[in-house]
Structure 1
Amino acid sequence: MDRDTMDDDPKVRQIRAAARTLFLRHGYAEVSTASLAKEAGVSKETLYTRYPSKEAILADVLEHLITTPEDPGPADRPAPATPSELEDELRHFARHLLAELVERDYIELARIVVAETPRLPHIGETFRRAVPERALHRARDLLAAARRAELVGDVDLDAAARLFVAPLVIHALLNVMLVAPAEGRPADAFDIDAHVALVLRALSAKERTS
Structure 2
Amino acid sequence: MTPDSPRTLAKRQQILRAARTLFLQHGYARTSTDAITEAAGISKQTLYAYYRSKPELLAATITHELGQLALDAQPPAPATLQDLRAQLLALATRVTAHLLQADAIALLRLLIGEAVHLPELRATLRQALPARLIDLTERYLVDAHERGLIHAPDAHLSARLLVGPLMSYVALDGLFGDAPPTPPSPATLAALIDLYLRSVALPGAPP
Deviations 1:35-90 (A, max 9, x none): 3232222233433443344333323322333331xx64473342222222111111
- TM-score, normalised to structure 2's length? 0.81
Could you tell me how far apart the structure 1 residues matched to 2:7 and 2:67 are? Answer: 12
- 1:118 corresponding residue in structure 2: 116
- Aligned-residue CA RMSD in angstroms? 2.9
One-letter amino acid of the counterpart of residue 62, structure 1 = I
Q: Does 1:30 align with 2:30?
A: yes
Q: Does 1:194 align with 2:167?
A: no
Q: Does 1:132 align with 2:130?
A: yes
Q: Identify unmatched segments of 5+ residues in structure 1.
A: none
For 1:80, what is the secondary structure of its paired residue? coil
Structure 2 vs 1, CA of residues 187 and 94 (structure 1 numbering), >3 Å: closer, same or farther? closer
Count residues in correspondence: 202
- 2:11 corresponding residue in structure 1: 11
Structure 2 vs 1, CA of residues 161 and 27 (structure 1 numbering), >3 Å: closer, same or farther? same
For 1:138, what is the secondary structure of its paired residue? helix
- TM-score, normalised to structure 1's length? 0.80
Deviations 1:142-192 (A, max 9, x none): 22222233322242111111111111211122122222245xx84553611
Could you tell me how far apart the structure 2 residues matched to 1:107 and 1:75 are? Answer: 23
Deviations 1:109-164 (A, max 9, x none): 12112322333333233222222212112212222222233322242111111111
Contact map agreement 1:62 1:127 (CA 8 A) in 2: yes
For 1:28, what is the secondary structure of its paired residue? coil
Matches within 5 A, 1:177-192: 177-182=175-180, 186-187=182-183, 189=185, 191-192=188-189
Could you tell me how far apart the structure 1 residues matched to 2:179 and 2:3 are? Answer: 32
Could you tell me how far apart the structure 2 residues matched to 1:127 and 1:50 are? Answer: 20
Matches within 5 A, 1:133-152: 133-152=131-150
Could you tell me how far apart the structure 2 residues matched to 1:49 and 1:148 are? Answer: 47
One-letter amino acid of the counterpart of residue 31, structure 1 = T
Contact map agreement 1:18 1:40 (CA 8 A) in 2: yes
Contact map agreement 2:105 2:175 (CA 8 A) in 1: yes
Q: Identify unmatched segments of 5+ residues in structure 2.
A: none
- 1:39 corresponding residue in structure 2: 39
Could you tell me how far apart the structure 1 residues matched to 2:116 and 2:84 are? Answer: 40
- 2:88 corresponding residue in structure 1: 90
Q: Which has the higher contact order (CA 8 A, sep 6+)?
A: 2
